[in-house]
């Protein structure tokens, strides 16, 4: 059908289809520069066209640079012809992006109402961030490539390619159990997180490595799931402002000129600093530099450190160095589930990491995760603020009443905040007064102050994520 309609890229004379070799063998390529051809290939992804397809089947565009095994530089000849008489040399860099766009359009329109697509692409260009995820290509299972993945993913994020990651474990070769564990511990902080390997490598599912590696990898994956509310809120911010999800340290601390060359540690949003372990000697101490005059908290133990700080931290294979920045509020979901779909109506936990001035701010964004109803206001976006020992939740300036918003609030009406954890409060606390919808209730506390307790936990304040509320500590 594509041949009959003239939808393939032509040879340099423009009188026949360009032919080359790729994984299927002798191949032709759809000319995505032709709007009719792009629309045609998009329709091939519709459920009535794509044999065996289902609404939860998504797509990976591989080899779409395009990769041509018998072509110059393993790609298309530069003088072959595209729609409108353009030579390939003029549009090579956008070919993969147009390929990605056509696939995403097909998945988006295969159902009514439309749903968001997921398309992973190997080739990309400016604009590809609108269509799906990308990754850094065929890496190798060695420590050098583990380390190299950090500046690569950071560079992509600074350039606007936010949904980016690297193959966890390395594509070529066979990782040692130690390398595989460390790569998972780093990989959970890539915006796009997946393990992937060449077909000829050995099996590398986490359970293949046995203990203690299995438990360490499981803990890392659970940490990723636990922080999905924070990640989703960052994706929302990126979609509106273009701010990277993962950021070089200099982006958050431009006054720290001595850290401009730092590319082994990085920020996840503005609230979390990650210092990954990337050395084959898993017992080697790690140099840590915490910038600025601020509190930093170990995200697990809640041990507090005051910046600026430069010191070594002892590590073992179970240790990951991740710090929450003082002045941040981080939303989580703490219940272990088999998928994010099963977490959708789980309660929220809020971690309040108090700054040196006793304040903190954060944001929580939720929508249905599938449709485009958020464009009509079907979302919850809360501005969270902690000051003078009072935590408040208020709607963002983008929140507006609409039929779609009211319907979404109804669907989320049972989703509550099940726990608030305050880290870094100096004074002892005995009670929390909760005010929601004009109703007041008191929760007893037993917090002895930060010198004796690492955290003050308010259990089941029972406030709803979509409501205005405040919690005052005394």
DSSP-assigned states of every residue in 191-207: SS-EE---TTSPP--GG
The predicted pLDDT at position 426 comes to 87
The predicted pLDDT at position 99 comes to 97
The predicted pLDDT at position 429 comes to 92
The predicted pLDDT at position 75 comes to 96
Residues with catalytic function: 62, 65, 138
For 276-416, where are the alpha helices, taking DSSP H only? 403-411
The predicted pLDDT at position 446 comes to 86
HSE of 55 in the Cβ direction (CA atoms, 13 Å)?
9
Please list the residues that pair with 429 across neighbouring strands. 447
C-alpha to C-alpha distances, 451 to 419, 423, 424, nearest whole angstrom: 22, 11, 9
Report, as ranges of residue numbers, the positions in the chain whose pLDDT lies below 70.
Answer: none
Average model confidence (pLDDT) for the chain? Answer: 95
User: Is residue 167 within 8 Å of 306, Cβ to Cβ?
Assistant: no
pTM for the predicted model, two decimal places: 0.95
Q: Between helices 213-226 and 228-241, what is the axis angle to 10°? A: 50
CA–CA dist 234, 227 (Å, integer): 11
The predicted pLDDT at position 335 comes to 95
User: Is residue 455 within 8 Å of 420, Cβ to Cβ?
Assistant: no
The predicted pLDDT at position 297 comes to 96
Q: What are the strands, taking DSSP E only, across 227-271? A: 246-247, 266-268
């Amino acid at each position: 059908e594509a041949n009959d309609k003239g939808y393939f890229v032509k040879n340099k004379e423009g009188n026949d289809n360009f032919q080359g070799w790729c994984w299927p063998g002798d191949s032709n390529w759809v000319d995505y520069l032709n709007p009719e051809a792009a629309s045609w290939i998009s329709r091939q992804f519709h459920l009535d066209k794509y044999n065996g397809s289902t609404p939860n089947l998504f797509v990976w565009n591989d080899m779409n640079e395009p990769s041509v095994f018998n072509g110059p530089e393993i790609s298309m000849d530069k003088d072959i012809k595209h729609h409108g008489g353009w030579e390939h040399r003029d549009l090579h860099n956008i070919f993969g992006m147009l390929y990605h766009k056509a696939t995403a359009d097909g998945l988006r329109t295969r159902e009514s109402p439309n749903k968001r697509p997921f398309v992973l692409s190997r080739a990309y260009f400016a604009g590809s961030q609108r269509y799906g995820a990308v990754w850094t290509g065929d890496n190798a299972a060695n420590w050098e490539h583990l380390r190299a993945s950090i500046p690569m993913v950071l560079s992509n994020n600074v350039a606007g390619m936010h949904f980016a990651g690297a193959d966890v474990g390395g594509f070529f070769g066979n990782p040692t159990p130690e390398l595989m564990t460390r790569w998972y511990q780093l990989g959970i902080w890539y915006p796009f997180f997946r393990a992937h390997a060449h077909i000829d490598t050995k099996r590398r599912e986490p359970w293949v490595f046995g203990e203690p590696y299995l438990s360490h990898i499981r803990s890392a994956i659970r940490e990723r799931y636990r922080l999905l509310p924070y990640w989703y809120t960052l994706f929302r911010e990126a979609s509106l402002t273009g701010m990277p999800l993962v950021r070089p340290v200099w982006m958050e601390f431009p006054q720290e000129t001595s850290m401009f060359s730092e590319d082994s540690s990085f920020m996840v949003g503005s609230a979390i600093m990650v210092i990954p372990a990337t050395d084959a000697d898993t017992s080697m101490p790690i140099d840590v530099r915490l910038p600025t005059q601020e509190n930093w908290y170990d995200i697990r133990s809640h041990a507090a450190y005051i910046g600026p700080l430069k010191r070594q931290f002892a590590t073992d294979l179970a240790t990951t160095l991740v710090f929450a920045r003082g002045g941040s509020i981080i939303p989580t979901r703490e219940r272990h589930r088999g998928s994010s779909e099963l977490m959708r109506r789980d309660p929220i936990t809020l971690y309040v990491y108090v700054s040196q001035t006793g304040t903190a701010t954060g944001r929580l964004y939720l929508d249905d995760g599938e449709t485009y109803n958020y464009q009509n206001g079907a979302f919850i976006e809360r501005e969270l603020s902690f000051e003078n020992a009072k935590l408040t939740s208020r709607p963002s300036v983008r929140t507006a009443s609409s039929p779609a918003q009211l319907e979404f609030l109804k669907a989320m009406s049972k989703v509550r905040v099940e726990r608030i954890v305050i880290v870094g409060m100096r004074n002892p606390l005995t009670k929390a007064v909760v005010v929601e919808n004009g109703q007041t209730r008191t929760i007893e506390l037993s917090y002895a102050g930060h010198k004796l307790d690492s955290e003050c936990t308010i259990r089941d304040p029972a406030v709803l994520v979509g409501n205005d509320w405040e919690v005052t500590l005394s």
